[in-house]
Every structure is written in C-alpha cells, then in structure tokens.
Structure 1
Amino acid sequence: MESIKRWTLKWAHGEAEVQALGGMLAPVRFDIGAGRSVSPLHVAPWGDDLRRPGLMRALRGEWPCVPFGMVAAPAGLPPDFRTRDADDDWVHGYGANHMWQLMGQGDRMLALQIAYPFESEIERLERTIEVEPDAPALLVSLTVHARRDVNLPFALHPTFAVPVGGVEILACAHQAIYSYPVQPEPGVSRILPNRTISTLKKIPTTRGFMDATRLPLSETTEELLQISECKPPFVLRYPEQHADVFLDWNAEELPDALLWISNGGRTHEPWSGRHFAVGVEPANSFFDLGRVAIPPANHPLADRSGMVFKAGMPRTITYRLSARAL
C-alpha cells in the first residue's frame, strides 16, 4: 500500500508541511510573537487511512480543485435545474485524489507537479508554496497547463481548524449569501435551501435562525453557503490564540467564497460525528455543482460557470495565507 510522502518548510515565523496526496498543505504553524502561535489549517481526525479512496486517505488543509466539485447531482434539486454527467469520477478533480511529485525544494520554497490522464483537457498542474521570510505568511501559486481549450468550475479548498476554544468568522465584505439548492446532508443540514441571505449572523433554518459567525455550533450539522462578491481578505479569528488569520486571493478570477461548515453532522465512517472544520473556498463555480447541475438562468449565481484555460497558455492563480497577533 502506497505511503504518503510529506515535505516541510521551516522559517523564522513558522513551519508548514505539504503532502504528496492532493498536494495538500497542512499542518501550518504561524509564530505571531511573544512566544505565541496559531495552527489554522485542519487535519482530519482519522489521519492517514490508506484503505480509503482518493482524497479521503489523508484529508487536510488546503489544496486546489481542478475541476471543482461533485461528480453526481444530489437528489431533490428544484425542477428548474438541469443535470448532467461529470466527465470523470474524481470529486474535486484528479489532482485532489492522486500523488503529486516534488519538483524542487529550497530553504524558502517547494514546488510540486502532477500530470493528468491523457484524456483530460488538463495536461498538468504545478504548485509552489513559498514562505515570506519576514512574516508569518505563505504565498501559494498554482499554474494550470491545458491540453485543449476548456472552461471548468474551479476553486481553492482551504479548510480551517475549529478548535475546542472556537473560531470567529469575521468573513469578508460581500454582496449576498446563498444557501445550497438542497440540504447538503439530507436529514442533518438545517439551513433552509435555495434562499438569499444578507448576513451570517441570521441564517434561516428549520429551527429558527442560526448565527454562523462563531464555531463550533451548539447543534450538529453540515452546511454549505456561497458568499457572492466576497472581497478578500477573508478573516478568521482564533480567540484563545489571540490571532487573526487572513486568506487573500484575486477576486476578479474567483469572485465568491464557499463556506463549508462541518459541525459533527456526518455520522458515517470515517467522519463518525467527530469532524469539525470550516472550509473557505475561493471559487468560480455554482456551489460544488458546476460539473453536474445547471441552475435556471434567473438564479443569481447562474453566471458562475468557471475559469477558462487555453491550450499552450499556462494560467497561474496566486493566493496568500497569513496570521497576525490581536
């Protein structure tokens, strides 16, 4: 059974680990001064479980999704939605589920790549993680090489820790918030589907209103929201660590942020009611459904069709993760 290789970057302001599976980044420790630190990226509680398929073998932290999203449409979509088949079986794309190769590593940077199957429109992905030598910050870039011109739903997938002491979602300036068109986890999710919401502090649910700005929530659930026209940075506050964590990206390319609230609601293996995390996923996609569902033309997110990649013209997406003491 194939083990998972991992590489480490250390610098004056922290330490970061990157693994071959999915090119995933985590754990990361940012040293924020006065002997204090914060480790914001999530590592799934089951650790390495090589019996599991794809990305579930060692789910953690942050990784790119090319193409982004599910490979089967959920049951119960509104009747004005159209469905279609995904072009492969890899949730969040081939690169999220397979091993990347190390291209090079120095004191401040490491680079990875992964080749896609010949039948894919994507030829390969290249990914670099670079430390900022004078700050608790990481610069990450992804270069997409396409075999053929293609428009794909695309997202980054940073998943942040929800410690016992909690995390506050300060979020971003935004236009609106939209709930998933169905319950993300049938019988478990609480947010009313297919709604437009103005604030994370007052989200309509089957049991009144939810304040999603402080996690963990008091009730178990699994939720997915899309924050449209999210203006980075997206900010999370870790009060026990006295730290703010910032996620920055190019909003012209990735106009929205999906917010995945995993609050112990999945009871099947390997989740087992023990998974608490919050995903903040900069995206150009209709939720995670861009590969399998088409909303009606009058849906506010109907134009979130993805990013264009052209053959012979590599496209690079960059983003930054950092922390600061309160």
Structure 2
Amino acid sequence: MQNNERWTLKWDHGQATVQAMGGMLAPVRFDLGAGRSVSPLHVAPWGDDPAWPGLMRALRGEWPCLPFGTIDVPPDLPPGFETRQADDEWRHGFSSNHMWQCVEQTPHRIALHIDYPEDHAVQSLARVIEASPDEASLTVSLTVRVRRDITLPFALHPTFAVPEQGVEVLACSYRAVHTYPVAIEPNYSRIVTNRTFASHTALETKDGSFDVSHLPLPVVTEELVQLEACEPPFVLRYPADRAEVRLDWNTADFPDAVLWISNGGRDYAPWSGKNFALGVEPVNGFFDLGRVVSPPPGHALAGRIGATFTAALPRTISYRLSAAAVQD
C-alpha cells in the first residue's frame, strides 16, 4: 500500500495541504485578519482509510478530473438518451485514483506531476498550487499533455464544507439549471429529474420545492444539477466565520458548473449518512455522464461533449480560490 504523502504551504494569509492521492487540495485555511479565518474545503468524514480504493481512500477538497465522470451507465434513463461503454476503469479519471509526485516545493508553491498509462490518450498532468504572498488566495494551474488529438469530458472538483451552522450559496450568474436525468440516489434524491428551471432557489421536488441557496437542507437528500453558462466567480458565504469564499475560472475552459449537493443522502459505507458537502464543479461536459451517456439532440446541454486537446501542444488552464472577510 503506497503512502499517501502530504505537502503543506504556510504563508502570511493561510495554510494549505496537498496530498498525493488524486493531487487533492485540503484542508485549506484562509486567515482574514483580526484573528478570523475560514476553512472552506470539505474533508470526507472517514478521513484517510486505505481500505477504500482510489479517490475514495481520502476524499477531500479540490482536484482535477480527466476524463471526468462516472464509468457506469445509470439505470432507467429517459427515452432518447444514448449509452456507451467507458474507455477505462477509473471514475473521474486515472489521476483522481492514483498518487501524484511532488516535483517542487517552495514557501509559496507546490508543483505535482502524474503520468498516465502508456496506452492512454492522456500522457500526463502537471499541477501547480501557488499562494499569493499578499492575500488569502490560491492560484492553481493544470497543464495537460496528450498523445493524440482527443475530446474528453473535463472538470475540476472543488468540494466545499457544509457546516452545521450553514453556508449561503450566493452562486453565480447563469442561464438555466438542468436537473439530472435520473435520481442519483433512488431512496433519497427528491428533485424532479430531466427538467430545466430558472433558479437554484426554486427547484421542483416530488413534494414541493428546494431552495439550495442555503445548506444544509432540512431533509436527507443527494442531488446533482448543472448550471448552464455559469459566469464566475462562484460565491459562498460562511456566516459563522463572517467570510466569503470565491471560486474563479475561465469559461472558455469550463462553460458550466455541476453542483453536487451531498446532504446525508448516501446511507452506505463509507458515507454512512454523515457526508454533508457542496461540490461546485466547473465542467466541460454533460453532468458526470459524458463518458457513458449522450443526451438527445434537442437537450440544452447536447453540445457539451468535452474539452479538445491536441497532441504535442500542452494545454494549461488556471483558476483561483480566495476568501475575504464580510464586514460587520
């Protein structure tokens, strides 16, 4: 069993830890002045348990997914959805389930690298997490190298803490909210499937509606929705910490954002009904289904087939996580 090494940045405005498994970033603490701080990234309640394989071993925080998504076709898809077999066995991609190597560490910067198997279209990923010396912010860059020209579902996977005291989802400007084609947890998911709504504050359910602008929700559930044409920054407010947290990215890389609302709705191990988190996942693809499902041609997200990569031409994207005090 490989050791899941961890590396930590400490700077005047916070502290951030990156682990080898999945290259996952968390925990992160942003110091906001006057003794105030906020730790916005989620760490799964089972911690680091080698009994669980791949990304489930020590699920936490933020990491890249290429190719993004599930490898299993969900049952009971609506008519018109086409299915196919995933091209490998790794949910959210090889890099999400294997150890990265630290290739550089300075007081403000950590650089990681991972090589994909030789028969994979993706050759390697290089990830750099850099702390701003002047403020409570982290800039992350990801360089993708591929062996052949290819289009793949692509996403980032920032997962934010949902404390008992609550978090306000101020979100971003967007065109529409699309609901998942099926119930992701049949016993608990409540939002009506395969529908489009105008706002995340009024999502129709089986017995009313959800306003997901305030979490946690009052009932047990597990949901996925996709915000079409999401214009960052995506903003969360943590009232107990009197802090706002922002996630910024380039919409040319990721035109939408998938929201994963984990509200205790997975009662099996290792989740055991104890996971409360909000995934805000900038995405170029169709939910987390792009590897195995295509929506009907008339679906509003039918054109979301993934990001295009070119052989011998590395592609670098960057994004930013930051925090600021909310004035009293």
Q: 2:137 is matched by which residue type in structure 1? A: A
What's the counterpart of residue 265 of structure 2?
A: 265
For residue 243 of structure 1, report the CA deviation from its aligned partner: 0.3
Mapped to 2, the partners of 1:3 and 1:58 lie a distance apart of 12
What's the counterpart of residue 126 of structure 1?
A: 126
Structure 1, unaligned runs of 5 or more: none
Mapped to 2, the partners of 1:240 and 1:201 lie a distance apart of 21
For residue 2 of structure 1, report the CA deviation from its aligned partner: 2.1
What's the counterpart of residue 241 of structure 1?
A: 241
Note if 1:232 corresponds to 2:204. no
Structure 1 contact 2–50 (Cα < 8 Å) conserved: no
Structure 1 contact 11–133 (Cα < 8 Å) conserved: yes
Residues 117-137 of structure 1 deviation map (CA, whole Å, 9 limit, x = unaligned):
011000000000000100000
What's the counterpart of residue 281 of structure 1?
A: 281
CA RMSD of aligned residues (A): 0.5
Mapped to 1, the partners of 2:248 and 2:205 lie a distance apart of 30
Q: 2:54 is matched by which residue type in structure 1? A: G
What's the counterpart of residue 180 of structure 2?
A: 180
Q: 1:5 is matched by which residue type in structure 2? A: E
The secondary structure found in structure 2 opposite 1:240 is helix
The ranges of structure 1 where at least 4 consecutive aligned residues each deviate by more than 2 angstroms after the TM superposition are none
Mapped to 2, the partners of 1:35 and 1:228 lie a distance apart of 38
What's the counterpart of residue 5 of structure 1?
A: 5
Mapped to 2, the partners of 1:190 and 1:48 lie a distance apart of 30
| Alignment map for 1:1-326 (pairs within 5 Å) | 1-326=1-326
For residue 15 of structure 1, report the CA deviation from its aligned partner: 0.1
With structure 1 as the length reference, what TM-score do the two structures score?
0.99
Mapped to 2, the partners of 1:186 and 1:117 lie a distance apart of 35
For residue 56 of structure 1, report the CA deviation from its aligned partner: 0.3
Mapped to 2, the partners of 1:298 and 1:154 lie a distance apart of 22
Structure 1 contact 3–50 (Cα < 8 Å) conserved: no
Q: 1:206 is matched by which residue type in structure 2? A: K
The secondary structure found in structure 2 opposite 1:127 is strand
Structure 1 contact 28–41 (Cα < 8 Å) conserved: yes
Mapped to 2, the partners of 1:15 and 1:211 lie a distance apart of 33
The secondary structure found in structure 2 opposite 1:55 is helix
The secondary structure found in structure 2 opposite 1:27 is strand
Residues 248-300 of structure 1 deviation map (CA, whole Å, 9 limit, x = unaligned):
00012200000000000100000000000000000001000000001111000
Identity %: 61
Q: 1:272 is matched by which residue type in structure 2? A: S
Residues 159-194 of structure 1 deviation map (CA, whole Å, 9 limit, x = unaligned):
000011110000000000000011011121000001
The secondary structure found in structure 2 opposite 1:88 is coil
Mapped to 2, the partners of 1:305 and 1:243 lie a distance apart of 36
Mapped to 1, the partners of 2:184 and 2:270 lie a distance apart of 18
Residues 1-34 of structure 1 deviation map (CA, whole Å, 9 limit, x = unaligned):
2221000000000000000000000000000111
Q: 1:305 is matched by which residue type in structure 2? A: I
Mapped to 1, the partners of 2:53 and 2:133 lie a distance apart of 37
Structure 1 contact 13–134 (Cα < 8 Å) conserved: yes
Mapped to 2, the partners of 1:90 and 1:253 lie a distance apart of 22
Q: 1:8 is matched by which residue type in structure 2? A: T
Mapped to 2, the partners of 1:313 and 1:286 lie a distance apart of 25
Mapped to 1, the partners of 2:202 and 2:66 lie a distance apart of 33
For residue 67 of structure 1, report the CA deviation from its aligned partner: 0.3
With structure 2 as the length reference, what TM-score do the two structures score?
0.99
Mapped to 2, the partners of 1:153 and 1:207 lie a distance apart of 33
Residues 64-87 of structure 1 deviation map (CA, whole Å, 9 limit, x = unaligned):
000000001100111200000000
Q: 1:196 is matched by which residue type in structure 2? A: T
Structure 1 contact 110–130 (Cα < 8 Å) conserved: yes
For residue 151 of structure 1, report the CA deviation from its aligned partner: 0.2
Structure 2, unaligned runs of 5 or more: none
Q: 2:151 is matched by which residue type in structure 1? A: N
Mapped to 2, the partners of 1:165 and 1:187 lie a distance apart of 26
Mapped to 1, the partners of 2:184 and 2:51 lie a distance apart of 25
Mapped to 1, the partners of 2:25 and 2:84 lie a distance apart of 32
For residue 207 of structure 1, report the CA deviation from its aligned partner: 1.4
Mapped to 1, the partners of 2:184 and 2:177 lie a distance apart of 16
Residues 219-240 of structure 1 deviation map (CA, whole Å, 9 limit, x = unaligned):
0000000000000000000000
Mapped to 2, the partners of 1:8 and 1:123 lie a distance apart of 27
Mapped to 2, the partners of 1:324 and 1:107 lie a distance apart of 22
Q: 1:266 is matched by which residue type in structure 2? A: R
